[in-house]
Homo-oligomer: A and B are copies of this chain.
């Protein structure tokens, strides 16, 4: 089902704690296409699970309704490829709940890799992360922030901070859907 490199890699899309335009910590709304695009990329690159983190009850209900449609409802026969992708999604209220669930499933507490558009001293390179996924047995969670990005508290608690993606110049405003896709290709994609 999945390639060997991705077998201990999880993706987390964080809706809280993230920051808004003014730097305040908020809980952002879940976006339908974030579920689909990131699930499809996760399945394509052999990611083991895709966690959607939101503490908002109505958002959890919404996500589970969307998943139901595609996994067991009408969508499952209309488009089985979408079913296979969305089966990877798990919804949790907090990052701690996600970490516990992965620790239980893997028998090892996962390490978190935070992503950001800003460069940090001592950041993790793509090459190194790729290597860790190839040889290291520790489960890893690649965490992406919605809205204006992961909060400082989350960044401070993360085990690693991945180097930012860089493009052609100073403009660097990818959607989270694009960032997840590119990063999965960089760390799990075939040689080009």
Contact = CB atoms under 8 A, between A and B. Distances in A.
B36 A171 contact: no
Interface of A, secondary structure class, is: helix
A171 B6 CA distance: 14
A26 interface: no
B178 A40 contact: yes
Contact of A125 (B172, B182, B192): B192
A46 B167 contact: yes
A121 interface: no
A97 B43 CA distance: 37
A44 B192 contact: no
Interface residues of A, number: 43
A171 B81 CA distance: 8
A166 interface: yes
B45 A167 contact: yes
Interface stretch (A65-73, A134-142, A183-191): A183-191
Contact of A43 (B40, B171, B182): B171
Most buried by B among A1, A36, A178: A178
Interface of A: 1-3, 5-6, 33, 36-37, 40-41, 43-46, 81-82, 84-85, 125-127, 165-169, 171-175, 177-182, 185-186, 188-190, 192
Given A46-B169, A85-B173, A177-B177, 12 more contacts: A3-B169, A6-B168, A36-B175, A37-B175, A37-B177, A41-B178, A43-B171, A44-B168, A44-B171, A126-B192, A178-B178, A182-B182
